Structure 1
């Protein structure tokens, strides 16, 4: 009830703001509805016309934000909750979409439409902060079950990070940044076209003294990452294009504790992604792509006696897919596709090869009844070498109720296969104060998700959206205690025991308040509950609110931005006996254009030294970063 009262008050405030605004005619304004998106249906649509609700974070949003990481960018999106410090090296290990964890495999992360791995050892490793911000063109977010097109892991939603491609005109640039906790970042890039050949290359280096779980005073920690991203394209003809992506990354972390124990983590990642796209005279499109990915890691310790399990080895991912889209009459746009994914795990705790063969179809139907009406119906069949066949259908509807009013609804089924740690570890794995023992008899998890939303454009300067959602999750995998003990330390394993639901309301409001001043406001009410115990899910705040104001004073070449996020109290344990306090986080950024080619910026995060509602834990406190950028 508290959340619903908060929503009513917030909508009343918005109505007051709207009633006092004057609207000038502008093609796009701050609504961003003319942007082309591809994630929701795997086919290009203007954002205003896509039948499935989609959120876009543009390049302009990224540059004006004070975010140093992708996870911090996502934190301003209604329905996505991130509890992590915004510093290179910190892992967004508590990041949720509609109450379900990214790092446990409930949300799928894509880069240029292809799934990525490698953020958390032993789990799915859905690391959000895997790519430098300078390489990103935009981020597309689709919330709700998306297994219909993307298979396992897309149970709660998809985040697709679209990277930059070769620009029409040559572009060269560099950026350096330095800040609190010895944060140093450097980017250098070049892009352009030479005849039919397009090239974009970005080299990135970053370092900090912030650990995976944030700053800790009981240890000396150093984090380093070198990354090279290269994208090549070749236009064989006007409608036929070849592409090749190459990514190389070297990631190192060193920790030295007061006890004298030292731990080292070294991860190397290599990825090659070829592709072919062709468009034919009848309007049909063919897309063939794939990737080869090797993640090599070495995690070891010196000077310790117990409580640590070394990890060494490789993970290999090999994927190939084709997709064919063709218009059938003026009403139907039909898409079929097939995908093959092989995952090979070769390290000291597991030696497994699993494969998944998939087939999917989708029919996008556009009708003109009394109002424009769109229907998207699709299904995907996955044949998993461990779990057999799974079929996930989805139905989405969009009604243009008025010229600037859209109503969207969807219902779909999603599934998630258990993680590497949950299934395949051949020996128990020590993790802090307990051992972990895998369970090879686990079943996949399933969900049915529903959503209903309305989107209203006022003039050309304001966008207001309101969405209701619910997810019902069956056979959730949880960690449970056993009667076993190893060296006096208890052993936990995994079981399919829980049915849970998450449901709530999301509201998003974007407006140009006056010339140069824009505001973005978001609110989420969330009810996330374990139906077996009637307890709330951990780290699932009932109310979250965000607001950001940006002022662009072009006459002085000056941009200022300030943002704040509120997080309600939440439970820290499944028994609901421990909880955090509610808290605010505030950040700001100042950008000054020095010349046509040069800019300097200063940004501050956690300005008022928030303790994230947990004063007994240690946090990095306020952090600052200065950037200098040249772009020709």
Structure 2
């Protein structure tokens, strides 16, 4: 059997299993490196999986990755800091952002050095689909996956030459250009993609909330992406090499002093994946990667006396991350095993927070057992564990169990439970900025327990799913006081999150579909509310699509609600945004398409965050102010497939 014959054909019903609203059933064929089938394999043994396909990504217009995730993933709340291509707060089923593991083609991109996923330079043009696994996934994917995993799968050769060119503009002064081409040259699969995203941006604060010393008031961006993927297959071996280069010039605003502040960034990601069939029962997989994220931080301030000062002159802020993973996949009779080892190295520096980390080395061993019991032919199970050892640091372990039982052709029951752990970030270990929080080398990992259980129903016109989730995190890393200074410490507190995740898809007629999702989270604030800021109690999405049969056009409406959140002892949030869209296909093969989108159609002043001035702010400018989301804007895009 060749590696490509391990292709996994997965049929995902709308609603309970996917967020693609323009097709009732989508068939996704996973061809090539077996790692790309891992998320679907975990779904089969009881872990909830939601997938966003290419069609939904293209329909999103000039949205960035954050906008696509917010509109299409039930239970995932995404709140950008200042619009597109900026940092964001993420919450998956009531989690913190650091409890989510972010991957590109199975390679982790959030790094323990800065404890976050730097998604602000990822172009949507390179994405084939997005996979989201809910519940702890530390065994097969690694540390940080306390609440789940988001895997961004890049475009690749899919059995035939293909290409695409797209362009878009909007009324915020944004332009978006991208191209993609995939071909078979000899026996080699080659895919190239590139994108350019520019915008003047918008003003995220009201005029009266901006101090007169701030002259740069609109947050824009300039993001360029280039990538190539090459794959070659021999008799029993397949190799795939991918390289991405992203360069960005991103505005970073403050409502006082700011004349110009920019993150000038280069990002390189190189991955090598090898798969070899040892025998019919055993396959081995190797995955190596190199990730370099490098920002020059430039900041010019104007003070109240009129003086101008270069606060940061391209100061370094970067990390380097590389590693390798070897996984064996064995089928012994009716029993399946995944097991392997993983090694990672991290190193980084932040001149603003004034720290330079040691080189951190992390070694893991992991194993997962998936039995098939003759007495339970309609039930699939998995049991696994991971042990992690940090050189000169703390170790951690995770155990996970999951199961899925099909009651009949329409009803299914799934459950997942496990333990997890999260390592402290480099900021929490090393930070020493004079006006910030000091690091603590004695921090220990956070530990967690999570349980997800659900019931789903699926037939041709209706699919729905209900999931209950419970999560407890101990040894929370928060802020304490030592020697009169704020310092990161392990708080003697626990955070418990309990909630429900509902999702319904219904084909009302042959032309009209409705997709509804809502998540409610109850977080016990008495046990560590400081660690769970910016997490909404309720989030909801409603989407209505109208696509007449045998017509080349469609209309849609998307509404998103974000509930109450808290930051700096102030409540905010509780807003509803509505987007309207239309699409028209034309040409001999309908391979030309025009998309229209009216974002924030009612021009709602959504308070998406709370800004607190620092200790260096003007004396009369120390109160918190509201940060606003994107205003109403009209987008138009053109797509040509060839």
Q: TM-score range by the shorter chain?
A: 0.7 to 0.9
Whether 2:397 is the aligned partner of 1:403: answer no
Report matched runs for 1:296-445 at 5 Å: 296-303=294-301, 311-330=315-334, 332-346=335-349, 348=351, 349-369=355-375, 372-425=378-431, 427-428=432-433, 430=435, 435-445=436-446
Q: Shift of residue 191 of structure 1? A: 0.8
Provide Cα deviations, 1:138-168, integer angstroms capped at 9, x if missing partner: 1111111111122221111100111111132
**Range 344-353 or range 152-161, more displaced:** 344-353
Which of 540, 550, 557 does residue 545 from structure 1 map onto?
540
Provide Cα deviations, 1:352-408, integer angstroms capped at 9, x if missing partner: 200101111011112243651111000011111243321211011111122221111
Provide Cα deviations, 1:152-191, integer angstroms capped at 9, x if missing partner: 2111110011111113222232111111321111101211
**Range 68-77 or range 321-330, more displaced:** 68-77
Q: Shift of residue 534 of structure 1? A: 7.5
**Cα 1:605–1:62, aligned 2, differ >3 Å: closer, same or farther?**
same
Q: Shift of residue 267 of structure 1? A: 1.0
Report matched runs for 1:80-99 at 5 Å: 80-84=76-80, 87-92=83-88, 94-99=89-94
**Range 378-387 or range 77-86, more displaced:** 77-86
Q: Shift of residue 448 of structure 1? A: 0.4
Q: TM-score, normalised by structure 1?
A: 0.85
Identify unmatched segments of 5+ residues in structure 2.
Answer: 1-14, 16-21, 304-308, 609-624
Structure 2 Cα separation of the partners of residues 593 and 41 of structure 1: 31
Report matched runs for 1:41-80 at 5 Å: 43=38, 45=40, 49-65=44-60, 68-75=63-70, 76-80=72-76
Q: How many residues align?
A: 584
Report matched runs for 1:553-572 at 5 Å: 553-572=548-567
Structure 1 Cα separation of the partners of residues 291 and 222 of structure 2: 21
Structure 2 Cα separation of the partners of residues 98 and 307 of structure 1: 42
Q: Shift of residue 628 of structure 1? A: 1.1
Name 1:249's counterpart in structure 2.
Answer: 246
Report matched runs for 1:173-192 at 5 Å: 173-192=164-183
Aligned with 1:515: secondary structure?
A: coil
Q: Shift of residue 213 of structure 1? A: 6.9
Alignment check: 8 A CA contact 1:466 1:506 kept:
yes
Q: Shift of residue 342 of structure 1? A: 0.5
Name 2:464's counterpart in structure 1.
Answer: 464
Aligned with 1:436: secondary structure?
A: coil
Alignment check: 8 A CA contact 2:479 2:486 kept:
yes
Q: Shift of residue 249 of structure 1? A: 1.1
Q: TM-score, normalised by structure 2?
A: 0.84
Alignment check: 8 A CA contact 2:133 2:148 kept:
yes
Q: Shift of residue 49 of structure 1? A: 3.4
Alignment check: 8 A CA contact 2:144 2:423 kept:
yes
Provide Cα deviations, 1:264-303, integer angstroms capped at 9, x if missing partner: 3211111211111123541432211111122222102234
**Cα 1:205–1:86, aligned 2, differ >3 Å: closer, same or farther?**
same
Q: Shift of residue 478 of structure 1? A: 1.2
Name 2:622's counterpart in structure 1.
Answer: none
Structure 2 Cα separation of the partners of residues 416 and 99 of structure 1: 17
**Range 380-389 or range 58-67, more displaced:** 58-67
Structure 2 Cα separation of the partners of residues 254 and 370 of structure 1: 57
Name 1:584's counterpart in structure 2.
Answer: 576
**Cα 1:64–1:366, aligned 2, differ >3 Å: closer, same or farther?**
farther
Name 2:3's counterpart in structure 1.
Answer: none
Name 1:7's counterpart in structure 2.
Answer: none
**Range 387-396 or range 475-484, more displaced:** 475-484
**Cα 1:259–1:127, aligned 2, differ >3 Å: closer, same or farther?**
closer
Identify unmatched segments of 5+ residues in structure 1.
Answer: 1-17, 19-27, 485-490
**Cα 1:73–1:212, aligned 2, differ >3 Å: closer, same or farther?**
farther
Provide Cα deviations, 1:74-111, integer angstroms capped at 9, x if missing partner: 2242221122379433322x211122222xx2110001
Whether 2:276 is the aligned partner of 1:272: answer no
Whether 2:234 is the aligned partner of 1:236: answer yes
Q: Shift of residue 506 of structure 1? A: 0.6
Alignment check: 8 A CA contact 2:506 2:514 kept:
yes
RMSD: 3.1
Aligned with 1:609: secondary structure?
A: coil
Report matched runs for 1:466-481 at 5 Å: 466-480=466-480
**Range 68-77 or range 444-453, more displaced:** 68-77
Whether 2:604 is the aligned partner of 1:606: answer no
Q: Shift of residue 60 of structure 1? A: 2.5
Alignment check: 8 A CA contact 1:56 1:141 kept:
yes
Aligned with 2:327: secondary structure?
A: strand
Whether 2:188 is the aligned partner of 1:197: answer yes
Aligned with 2:424: secondary structure?
A: coil
Aligned with 2:501: secondary structure?
A: strand
**Range 518-527 or range 71-80, more displaced:** 71-80
**Cα 1:316–1:453, aligned 2, differ >3 Å: closer, same or farther?**
same
Q: Shift of residue 325 of structure 1? A: 0.3
Structure 2 Cα separation of the partners of residues 520 and 603 of structure 1: 18
Which of 278, 283, 286 does residue 285 from structure 1 map onto?
283
**Range 380-389 or range 447-456, more displaced:** 380-389
Q: Shift of residue 39 of structure 1? A: 10
Alignment check: 8 A CA contact 1:352 1:424 kept:
no
**Range 336-345 or range 205-214, more displaced:** 205-214
